[in-house]
Amino acid sequence: MSYQFPSDFLWGTATAAHQVEGNNINSDFWVVEQLPATIFAEPSGDAIDHYHRYPADIAQLAELGFNSYRFSIEWARVEPEEGYFSPATINHYRRMLEACHAHNLRPVVTFHHFTSPRWLISQGGWTAPATAEKFARYCGHVTQELGALIEVACTINEANIPRMVRILWSDPQAAGQQAAFLHQASAAFGVTPENFAPFLFAGSEQGRDVILDAHRQAAAAIKAARAALPVGMTLALSDMQAVPGGEATRDRYRHELQDIFLAATRNDDFLGVQTYSRERFGPEGVLVPEEGVELTQMGYEFWPQALEATLRYAAQQTGVPLIVTENGIGTADDTRRGAYYRRALEGVVNCLQDGLDVRGYYAWSAYDNFEWMLGYRPTFGIIAVDRETQQRTVKPSARWLGEIAQANEL
Ligand code: GCO
């Protein structure tokens, strides 16, 4: 029994500037990737040279059958020095947006996807309250210049992930390496280790409050520049499950890592839901993956049904329209990627059939790309890239997803 998606359903793939463009040299991540004590497996370098190769890349995504493309505009390129907004960089992203329209790909733009300008970190980064206004100023400028070409605006990618890094993923075994890294990194920006706050390091309650204020101010600045532009944030939402006796613990973690952020989206035009797997909680906290469950390259459980669960939870908690702005799997086996996407999309169909307002689906990622601290090892792309030659190779999962998108039917 096939299912016909709503006629205006958005079908796309997602990328992030730092992970695909290359040579993001004014960003905080570029600096820390080069440190002797870096926690990055390798530097991002040229990435997949999407900054120059986007015309052919965008044409290829359209040819596969997608009708939208989610990408991020890089603040560190737009405003390399505080108060200097580069016209050449704005025109670069204008050309990207025009290329999307030329190929009938509706552009979904993320204004911040983990990386920030170096100068912001030297001023206290994402735990400094003044950052909210500086971020809003950047968002307002970009929207003044490019808003007419943008269809959907995501202010901040995964506003809750710094809290997840701090609360869920801190690794006591890595404390020594992290201390050496923190010492070198904070010195590189002329701040104390306590004031070193790139986005992923702003996991304190203060950082959370600055990030949420930045979202609110940015949304207002975007609306002031272009009232008709739908604005929201995206959140990392795993399906948080409790084993018997773990309910109270799960509720406590879910409140800190999801509910507080979900509540902050209730006046937005949409919420971007980004789901990869589930997390199980016992009375003492998060549990290791369940015995016998297949694992992905990231060590996550192969759990595509998590998407339906998080969509239902987000709908119940926010009441706003939802867009799946990221969903996918790091795997070297593209047949497992295809199986994952089919099951995840079946979950989206279940939600739509129950009347949930889900407006689009974006596979993470269009390309194998720079997976942050893990470097290029994890492969999330539906298109492979040989980084020696920058040759793109479409995987079977890309053709299958593109056909679903073109037919608008599963
Ligand atoms: C994130 C980011 C992406 C990741 C993807 C795979 O959720 O961390 O949005 O940049 O690459 O999720 O981990």
Residue 234 Cβ < 6 Å to ligand 1: no
pLDDT in tens, the chain (410 residues): 799 999 999 999 999 999 999 999 999 999 999 999 999 999 999 999 999 999 999 999 999 999 999 999 999 999 999 999 999 999 999 999 999 999 999 999 999 999 999 999 999 999 999 999 999 999 999 999 999 999 999 999 999 999 999 998 877 787 778 899 999 999 999 999 999 999 999 999 999 999 999 999 999 999 999 999 999 999 999 999 999 999 999 999 999 999 999 999 999 999 999 999 999 999 999 999 999 999 999 999 999 999 999 999 999 999 999 999 999 999 999 999 999 999 999 999 999 999 999 999 999 999 999 999 999 999 999 999 999 999 999 999 999 999 999 999 99
- The model carries a pTM of 0.98
Residue 364 Cβ < 6 Å to ligand 1: yes
Q: How many CB atoms lie within 10 A of CB 147?
A: 20
Domain boundaries of the chain, sorted by first residue: 10-407
Atom of ligand 1 nearest to the CA of 16: 10
The answer to whether the CB of 351 falls within 8 A of the CB of 311 is yes
The rounded Å distance from CA 277 to ligand 1 centre is 12
What CATH class is the domain 10-407? Answer: alpha beta
Say how far apart CA 20 and CA 39 lie, in whole Å.
Answer: 20
Q: Is 83 left (phi over 0), alpha (psi -120 to 50) or beta?
A: left
The answer to whether the CB of 103 falls within 8 A of the CB of 8 is no
The rounded Å distance from CA 245 to ligand 1 centre is 31
Say how far apart CA 22 and CA 157 lie, in whole Å.
Answer: 19
The rounded Å distance from CA 234 to ligand 1 centre is 11
